[in-house]
Structures are given as structure tokens and as C-alpha cells.
Structure 1
């Protein structure tokens, strides 16, 4: 890779930011350079107040992210991997998970290994009917090490998560939806339009309320129910201090669309 090679594209489409992982010849496999550009794209969109929702996809028709770069992984040993690649991929995926802006995965093709681990860190997952999803690391003598082993068991039934990781099978889009790993399967030709359309609908909502809602959901998952309910009570109180909450109520009473500003 040259210093000027672009591995991740970042576009602004109105209030929606579109991140495209752009290594089609490598099936959009993730190496350190790609991860760092992915992080930079996220930072740019997070810091842009005009952007309210972020969509992530892969270039080409074959792969969303086909996994990590196996040749790169084979060149590493434990401590170096822990300090270099693993440190970066965990940080980047966690940043996507924690960003206050809603995120949507447009899974256009294979999402294997690191590809599935990336979509696990995103809020909503639309998947092309032609795509395949899975964590086949066990077939290489590895296991999901970019957060997948922990996020997967928290997001789908434990027995199914174990089966996917122990067997290393790939599943089709319909099954990914049926087990709750993805939201909806759509034809590949319609995928990006579906994702951008959903993003545009979300972008019409109050960005402040979305931010506080995401934090309420994220924090509540880590709490016992009683604590999570108290947290929710406090967070909805913050929402009611916002101009957007009262704009929404007034717009409903006036029978007009609300004009949310994020204040």
C-alpha cells in the first residue's frame, strides 16, 4: 500500500454519512491501514454536526468484509498481535459501538470473521439476500478475537452462538435475520437505497434524543433491571429539558412536521 492509497471512502449525503470499505481485490479484508482509515472516517463524521446517521458498507458485490487479512495474521505472534492489530481492531470496533450517532450496516456480500464482528458493533444491520455471514475462525485454528466471541453471545441465543463459533459455518441472509443477527434481508440491488432510506428517516428525528436513547440502551444492557429502569427515568428527564422534546409535542398538537435542531 502506498501512503496515498485510499482504503476507505467517506461521503456525505445530506444528513447521512456513508463509509465504504474499499479493498475489493482483497474482498475488503481488514488490515491495520484499513482499520485506521475506518477510524478516521468515523471521527470525521462524528465531528460533523450536519451528519446524524452513519451507514457502513463494502465496495463491490462479493464482500462487505471477508474477514481479517490472513497473510497478515499469519505473520504475527501473540504479543505483537495483542499490541498491534488486536489493539487497533478492538479500539475501532468499540468506537463504532459507542458512537452517539445511529449506525447502519449495509451488508452487501460476505461478512465473515471480522466482517461479522464489525456488524455486531453496528446498531442496525440490513443484509443482501445473496450475502453470507459467519465466524469461521475455528477452521483456521483461531476464534473470533475482535470482540465477536463476546458480542455474539450477548446478541443471539447462547447455544446458536456457540454452534456458529464451534463449527465455523456460514449462514445465509435469511437465517441471519431469523436468529436476530441482522434486521432484514433485501435484494443486493436495493440494499444501499434501503440503508440510506432508513438512515434518512432516522435523521429526521431529534439527534439529541437519539444520542440519549442510544446511551440509555447501551448502559442499560450492562445493568440489573432495577438499575436500568432508574437510569431510563433519569435520561428521559434530560430529554424533557430539551427544546426538541417540546418542539415534537407542539408539532403533534399543531398537526405539522417537527423541526428538530438537536437542542
Structure 2
């Protein structure tokens, strides 16, 4: 029986996606991409899932692309198809209408850092190491990394990471703005689950509209983004959850959000 390279578990409105190729340090290949998409189909179609945690099995989150697989690709059409698939997957994760949490348990190199750049909140194990080492293979980040990282951290830091290809510690990654915080290694998943539980208690509808507002507005001039925000908050104020939240505040009780 073949083991799927992606494990999906669901508990208390939280889905956990675990990259499960520990012998290859969870390297990305076409099989992993396909398994990711199958898991995301289930997550997107299940309204009970409100938050998604991404993590890895073993010593790595994702240690990059499968080098042997990449080296076998000689034709531009062949590699172009792989690039299309991974770009489509990472964008799908980035715009997922549910909050995402990265629980980086070890090496997040190349495609691992590029995946992290698509996630909403990023927790790093104290043992995590990040980097974009593609330059050392005569390549550069090609799964959206060049464009996302330059928009998320200072340009000089992004260029140093890509030009030199060095690994950095979890603490350094937080310092330059690649992640939220460092967590003791043995507490990583517990911390991610506590955070996910807090998010799952919020209105899934409002979180969806908030995430869309942030993603769409980032590609707009400020004047257009502000008008977009105005329209989106108008939609939110038409929801039952908004009025439940305000009523609960006035009645001094916890809000009970349903996503309506």
C-alpha cells in the first residue's frame, strides 16, 4: 500500500496538513503537488474546517525541490508544466479563504521557504533553518519566491538570501520579518493548535473577507485599496456574525459565530 506524501487530519475545526516524505526531507515533486491539491479539495469543501496548519514529518518542513527530479527535466515544456503546477498550488494556498498557520519543524529550504511565504501566520521551531539556496545549484527560486519575498521583507535582506543562498536560523528569520516567532521545538505543534483554536472561534465569514481584503488590496494603489476595504466592510456589516458580535459585546457574553 502506497503512503500518501500528504497526511490530512481534522480535529475541532482545524485541519493539519503534514508533508510526509521524511526520507527525502519532504522534498517537493509532482506527486506531492498532486496530493496537496487533493487535500485542499477536501479542506475547501468542508465548512467545518476553519483553520489549516501546515507542518512536516521528521527533520524537515520542506527541504526544497526533489533535485534528482529537477535534474531529469531537460525540455522547457516539461519543466514549464512543473512550474505551472507549483505556482498554481502555492497561489491556491495563499488565497485560501481559511487562515493558514505554518508550523516549521525543521529545514525549510528553497520550496519550503517559498511555501512559508504563502502562509498567514508562521511559527518556527527553535531547530528550524530557512533559506533560498537555489543559486548554489545554478538556479534561483522559481515557485513564486522571488516575487513574494521582495514584497514581505526589506529588499536588501531578500537579495542577500537569494544571491548568497545561505541558511539562516529561526531567530534571524523572525528578526528580518519572515516569521512571527520562535517556539521551543517540542512545543511547536501544541502552540500551533492553541493559535488555531483561537482563530477557529472567530467568525469564518469575517476572516474570509478580511483575508480577501488584505490580498486584493496589496496589489492596488492605496486610493483603490481603501475603497475596496470600504466595500468589503459593508458586506461584513450585512452579516449575522457582525451583529452577533456587537450584540454579545453589549450583553457582556462570548460571541457565537456561525459564519453567516
Task: Tell me the CA shift for residue 87 of structure 1.
Answer: 1.4
Q: C-alpha deviations, 1:16-62, integer Å up to 9, x for none? A: 000000000010001100111011111211110000000000001x1
Q: Secondary structure at the match of 1:212?
A: helix
Is structure 2 residue 90 aligned with structure 1 residue 93? yes
Counterpart of 1:192 (choices 169, 189, 194) is 189
Unaligned 5+ residue runs, structure 1?
none
Which of 209, 212, 220 is residue 209 of structure 2 equivalent to? Answer: 212
Give me the whole-angstrom Cα distance separating, in 2, the residues matched to 1:160 and 1:83: 29
More deviation in 79-88 or 188-197? 79-88
Shift of 1:252: 0.5
Matched, 1:168 2:168: no
SS in 1 for 2:84: helix
How does the TM-score come out when normalised to structure 1?
A: 0.97
Counterpart residue number, 2:229: 232
- Please state if 1:221 is matched with 2:240: no
How far apart are the structure 2 equivalents of 1:84 and 1:22?
Answer: 23
Q: Distance in 2 between matches of 1:78 and 1:248?
A: 56
The alpha-carbon deviation at position 183 of structure 1 amounts to 0.5
Equivalents in 1 of 2:83, 2:24: separation in Å? 20
Quick check: 1:69 aligned with 2:59?
A: no
CA 137–13 in structure 1, closer or farther in 2 if over 3 Å, else same: same
Q: Secondary structure at the match of 1:33?
A: helix
Distance in structure 2 (CA, Å) of the matches to 1:231 and 1:52 = 24
Q: How far apart, in 2, do the equivalents of 1:25 and 1:260 lie? A: 42
Q: TM-score, normalised by structure 2?
A: 0.98
TM-fit CA distance, 1:198: 0.4
Deviation (angstroms), 1:78:
4.6
Change in 2 beyond 3 A, CA 1:177/1:249: same
Q: Which consecutive unaligned segments of at least 5 residues does structure 2 have?
A: none
- 2-side partners of 1:127 and 1:77: how far apart? 36
Partner of residue 56, structure 2: 58
Distance in 2, matches of 1:230 and 1:219, equals 11
Considering only aligned residues, what root-mean-square deviation do their CA atoms show, in Å?
0.9
In the aligned structure 1, how far is the partner of 2:211 from the partner of 2:82? Answer: 28
CA deviation digits over 1:48-84, x for unaligned, max 9?
0000000000001x10000000000001125134432
Count of equivalent residues: 260
Q: Choose which of 22, 29, 32 in structure 2 pairs with 1:31.
A: 29
Map of 1:244 onto structure 2: 241
DSSP-derived class of the 2:52 partner: strand
